[in-house]
Amino acid sequence: MSFRLKILGANSATPAYGRHQTSQLLQVENCYFLIDCGEGCQMQLMRYKERISKIQCIFISHLHGDHFYGLIGLLNTMSMGGRKQSLDLYGPPDLAEVITALLRCSRTVLSFHIHFHALSFREPVKIFENNLLTVTSIPMEHGTLCAGFLFREKPKPYRINKEFLPEDVTVPEILYLKEGKDLYDAEGKLRYRHSALTLPPRKIRSYAYCSDTRYQEKVIPHIQGVDLLYHEATFMQDQSARAASRFHSTTVDAATIAKKAAVGQLIVGHYSSRYKVLEPLLAEAKRIFPNTVLAIEGQDYLLEE
């Protein structure tokens, strides 16, 4: 089962050196989530042959332009394609007003319905749930209402070990085994222990998106032990004063959070346009958290089960 993150835009405020503003696509099996929607997002989706029609939910972290100026264009393209399926849109309360005004002024009536969900920014809140996973919003410290997002798979069933499965086990009993229950006969006598007939459940995978934010340790318990963390690293450490004053993080900030939260892997991104070459940012982060990689547009980051 796939758990795939595609970076569509990895830059901050303005495009630079071929890099676009922030957006990402997360695929978990047949669920497609768009995280932020910077300018050019739909062009990037087309460039990397991602099907726009498959996106079910869009999560907008905050209302700085580099995170949502691509949204109205994307919605328009969905509508031109005749989309009928409703879309769930999550973001700060003002986002609804912006979208409504743009549609009204351009006399656009979308072909589909938008369910708008206003985010809360005081504490972590579970904002989405289906049979596969949950999504939780996490407050960021960015000088404006801003949320990160945690995507976590739900507990998975035990796997039937077909090699050892006796013929007299019925279909309802198989469901019991998958729940980790032992099988008993009508007299209450143990027939089979589930541990003898099953393999452990597959791994629960998780991804946390922390952008934009200045260094904040209170995020750590909420992202503790995630497999994959994207944390903004707008600046290198020599610009730490600038980073703090603009409510952004440095490579060292991002790597320190990753280390303290004991995550599996760190992706740094949201690069300032002052950096043409990114390897020095990577090197600086790796000194603190070795399993760091750069956010590269068009690249897939996969989590194995």
Q: Which residues are catalytic?
A: 66
The one segment of 64-72, 83-91, 189-197, 238-246 that binds Zn ion by CB under 5 A: 64-72
On whether the CB atoms of residues 267 and 226 are closer than 8 A, the answer is no
Of 36, 153, 173, 212, the residue at the interface with Zn ion (CB under 5 A) is 212
Amino acid at 247: F
Rounded to a whole number of angstroms, the minimum distance from the CB of residue 59 to Zn ion is 14
**92 burial via Cβ count (<10 Å: 0-12, 13-18, 19+):** buried
Instruction: Between 197 and 233, name the residue whose CB sits nearer to Zn ion.
Output: 233
Instruction: Between 151 and 247, name the residue whose CB sits nearer to Zn ion.
Output: 247
| Sequence-distant (≥ 6) Cβ neighbours of residue 116 within 8 angstroms | 89, 90, 91, 95, 96, 99
Interface with Zn ion: number of residues (CB under 5 A): 4
Site string for Zn ion, 5-44 (x = CB under 5 A): -------x--------------------------------
List the interface residues with Zn ion, window 107-146 (CB under 5 A): none
Backbone phi, psi, residue 51, to 5°: -80, 115
Minimal CA–CA distance to 138: which of 224, 209, 68?
209
Instruction: Between 19 and 83, name the residue whose CB sits nearer to Zn ion.
Output: 19
Cis peptide before 253 (omega within 30 of 0): no
Minimal CA–CA distance to 213: which of 179, 246, 189, 251?
246
Cα–Cα distance for residue pair 171/175, rounded to 1 Å? 7
Rounded to a whole number of angstroms, the minimum distance from the CB of residue 256 to Zn ion is 20
Instruction: Between 3 and 247, name the residue whose CB sits nearer to Zn ion.
Output: 247
64 binds Zn ion (CB under 5 A): yes
Instruction: Between 148 and 303, name the residue whose CB sits nearer to Zn ion.
Output: 148
Rounded to a whole number of angstroms, the minimum distance from the CB of residue 220 to Zn ion is 21
On whether the CB atoms of residues 300 and 8 are closer than 8 A, the answer is no
Cα–Cα distance for residue pair 57/60, rounded to 1 Å? 10
Rounded to a whole number of angstroms, the minimum distance from the CB of residue 131 to Zn ion is 33
The one segment of 32-40, 46-54, 148-156, 207-215 that binds Zn ion by CB under 5 A: 207-215
Residues at the interface with Zn ion (CB under 5 A): 12, 64, 66, 212
